[in-house]
Amino acid sequence: MQKVLVTGIDGFVGRHVARELAGNGFEIVGVGGPQGNSKLSDFVGQYFTTDLMDTEATRAIDFTDVTGVIHLAGLAAVGPSFQNPRQYMDTNAGIEINLFEAAQAQAVHPKFVIVSSGSLYDPKAALPITERSPMFPNSPYAVSKMAQEQMARYYSSRGFEVVIARPFNHIGPGQNPGFIVPDLAQQVIAVERGEAAEVLVGNLDAKRDYTDVRDIARAYRLMLESGRNSEIYNICSGRSLSGHEILEHILTAAGQHPTITQDSARIRPSDTPDVYGSYHKLTADTGWQPAITLNQTMVDVIADWRNR
């Protein structure tokens, strides 16, 4: 049985990665943040919390028999990075460096899956976006992800096998507010419960590429198993959906027809009307394709919010 270390395991994506790995026979070592509170005891063989920004604390992680690392931990919200660029650079690059150095100090060289971001690409690039499309990181968050990719390449030269994931927009059960699907679903359920009279929306015209988080978790597992060393892989659905289409699917899944009101406070300018990627390289090397339909995703999202 292969042992895989998963950082950020108690986050939105980490919980789904844990289920994916456990369901495919992996032994899991889960690392949560200092305030972590994992409820993954059925999936995770070993779970502990640590501050991965602390070099000595990270060096205390036992890498014995660890054959793979899926590195999810770090700062993931784009918006706050504009106010805290130094924090994003220090955290996202620093945690990765500490992990590689900790394994190196123990003379252990597991295969690393480094999670970057599809937001690195130039929004004006020709569609679909491939791994060869031009990059233009337009936020400190994106710059920190580019730094992570470069550090991963450096450690590849130090004897580590690394693969880099560039996932596009995640959706699915367990996602907290701050993103379009949970923001809309939460409001729809509030109307259903009689706690609100309408659903407030911003600009729903922009089109984005959305992938179910469970499909993304499966992609990480397949990249760990058969992704090629030092290669970059897009993880995406290969199509774009507008906010209007997302809302319609949510309403259909909930069986609701609430009043929809545009809220000027929620309108954000966007100079990128349409973005979608290509996952053909990932399919060629690992066999991955998106499998969960948008309808199923929304049914599961609505069920999740009804249970909250």
Domains of the chain, residue spans: 3-170+210-235, 174-208+239-278+292-307
Full-model pTM: 0.96
293-296 long-range contacts (CB < 8 A, ≥24 apart) are 294/210, 294/241, 294/249, 295/249, 295/252, 295/253, 296/212
Q: Quote the Cα angle for 185-297-181, to 5°.
A: 30
Q: What is the CATH number of domain 3-170+210-235?
A: 3.40.50.720
Handedness of CA 95, 101, 105, 110 (dihedral sign): positive
Residue 271 pLDDT? 60
pLDDT by residue for the chain (308 residues), tens only, comes to 799 999 999 999 999 999 999 999 999 999 997 766 656 666 788 899 999 999 999 999 999 999 999 999 999 988 899 999 999 999 999 999 999 999 999 999 999 999 999 999 998 999 999 999 999 999 999 999 999 999 999 999 999 999 999 999 999 999 999 999 999 999 999 999 999 999 999 999 999 999 999 999 999 999 999 999 999 999 999 999 999 999 999 999 999 999 999 987 787 666 678 999 999 999 999 999 999 999 999 999 999 999 99
Beta bridge partners of 46: 29
Hey, CA dihedral for 256, 259, 262, 265, is it positive or negative? negative
Q: Determine the Cα–Cα distance for residues 222 and 281; give it in Å rounded to an integer.
A: 13
Task: Report CA torsion sign: 263, 268, 271, 273.
Answer: negative
One-letter amino acid at 268 equals R
What token pair was written down for 128? 């679909």
DSSP string of 182-211? HHHHHHHHHHHTTS-SEEEE-----EE-EE
* Distance, CA of 105 to CA of 306 (rounded, Å): 47
What residues contact residue 233 under an 8 Å CB cut-off, 6+ apart? Answer: 131, 163, 164, 165, 166, 219, 223, 227, 279, 281, 282, 285, 286
At the topology level, CATH places domain 174-208+239-278+292-307 in: UDP-galactose 4-epimerase; domain 1 (3.90.25)
Report the C-alpha gap between 88 and 77 in whole angstroms: 10
Which ranges in 23-139 belong to alpha helices (H)? 55-59, 85-105
Measured in whole angstroms, the distance separating CA 214 from the mean position of its chain's CA atoms is 10
